[in-house]
């Protein structure tokens, strides 16, 4: 039977309808933040990169749960607009803006000092800020900009806030990674631009691998403290992260937009790791975009590589060497 005549058979319509219903049912069975009863009254949360995209949706959800919600943003204008929008949508007046540029270690330190000075507790830290599409750029502090923004800044921020997180335990750290970590590499020379993994995609992929390695090592070091750390893949999501690419790439991404997740949908796995009862006590894991536990790449499971990356990150950020586990 020829393919056109086969596809015109009535059975194909029934099969397609059945498949569609199955996919719809599977999505319906997925974890839904709106059905999660977790209330965060009296809790404090920080979401980086929260003026748009996934970060903004995560902050909106946490604010709806009555958390004191700190939006850590690079742009005062866009950050304040997000704060006002979230306050209006949730009725939660405790939504605040604090300026943070994760590509700058000085900015990270200033932000952390302000948090430690002004906040009595920290229950959830979501490291979401990230970018891609920039050419190789060395910052005034001698770091490669994309690696500093996506990995090294969050590494320093997390470490500076660890004591506050421990004092607030049980507390959670959620590091937003990507399925693209699976094709990344983690050469510590990338952090200072002494070596390059390639173009835009390999750079981004490698930062996301470093996020997963950092999370695994962090979880080991936090054992017994009541603070958990997990990394998460949001999936393929329509956000502003493509803004630094050429118009041709942005146009292609725009054409694909109907077939990929919205920011609200992409935020679900991060919210799941931040608030769900199902994740309570789970640490050092990698969660897929469907909120299920997933096996990260072989490189992401390399404990020796994670330790080497951690030690070099300590050196570059000026942190004292932590105890070995």
Give the pLDDT confidence of 99-134 residue by residue, as tens digits. Answer: 999 999 999 999 999 999 999 999 999 999 999 888
- Please state, in angstroms and rounded to a whole number, the distance separating the CA atoms of residues 139 and 152: 12
Q: Render pLDDT for 177-194 as a digit per residue (tens, 0 to 9).
A: 999 999 999 999 999 999
- Residue 46 parent element (H or E): strand 44-48
Q: Residue 82 is encoded by which pair of tokens?
A: 């997000």
Average pLDDT of the segment spanning 225-232: 98
Which entry of 151, 190, 200, 204 is annotated as an active-site residue? 204
β-bridge partners, 252: none
pTM across the whole model: 0.86
pLDDT at position 6 over 60? no
pLDDT band at 22 (very low <50, low <70, confident <90, very high): very low
Distances (CA, A) of 21 to 12, 16, 18, 25: 14, 9, 5, 6
Burial class (CB in 10 A: 0-12, 13-18, 19+), 304: exposed
Q: Residue 85 is encoded by which pair of tokens?
A: 């929008």
Is 204 annotated as catalytic?
yes
Give per-residue burial for 308-322: e unless 16+ CB within 10 Å, then b. Answer: ebbeebbebbeeeee
């Amino acid at each position: 039977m020829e393919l056109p005549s086969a596809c015109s058979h009535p059975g194909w319509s029934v099969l397609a309808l059945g498949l569609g219903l199955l996919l719809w049912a599977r999505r319906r069975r997925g974890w839904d933040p709106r059905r999660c009863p977790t209330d965060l009254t009296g809790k404090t949360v920080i979401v980086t990169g929260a003026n748009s995209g996934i970060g903004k949706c995560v902050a909106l959800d946490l604010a709806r749960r009555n958390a004191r919600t700190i939006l850590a943003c690079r742009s005062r204008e866009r950050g304040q607009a997000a704060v006002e929008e979230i306050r209006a949508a949730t009725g939660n007046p405790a939504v605040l803006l604090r300026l943070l540029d994760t590509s700058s270690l000085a900015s990270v330190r200033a932000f952390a000092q302000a948090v430690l000075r002004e906040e009595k507790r920290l229950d959830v830290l979501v490291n979401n800020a990230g970018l891609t599409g920039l050419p190789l750029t060395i910052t005034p502090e001698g770091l490669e900009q994309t690696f500093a923004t996506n990995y090294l800044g969050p590494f320093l921020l997390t470490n500076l806030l660890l004591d506050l997180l421990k004092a607030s335990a049980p507390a959670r750290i959620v590091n937003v990674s990507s399925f693209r970590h699976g094709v990344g590499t983690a050469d510590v020379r990338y952090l200072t631009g002494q070596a390059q993994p390639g173009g835009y995609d390999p750079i981004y992929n490698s930062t996301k691998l470093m996020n997963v390695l950092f999370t695994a090592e962090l979880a080991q070091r936090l054992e017994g403290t009541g603070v958990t750390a997990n990394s998460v893949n949001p999936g393929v999501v329509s956000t502003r992260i493509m803004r630094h690419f050429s118009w041709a790439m942005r146009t292609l991404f725009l054409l694909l937009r109907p077939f990929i997740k919205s920011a609200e949908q992409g935020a679900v796995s991060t919210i799941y790791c931040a608030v769900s009862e199902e994740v309570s006590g789970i640490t050092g894991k990698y969660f897929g975009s469907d909120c299920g536990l997933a096996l990260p790449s072989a490189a992401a499971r390399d404990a020796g590589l994670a330790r080497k990356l951690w030690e070099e990150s300590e050196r570059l950020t000026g942190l004292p060497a932590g105890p070995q586990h």
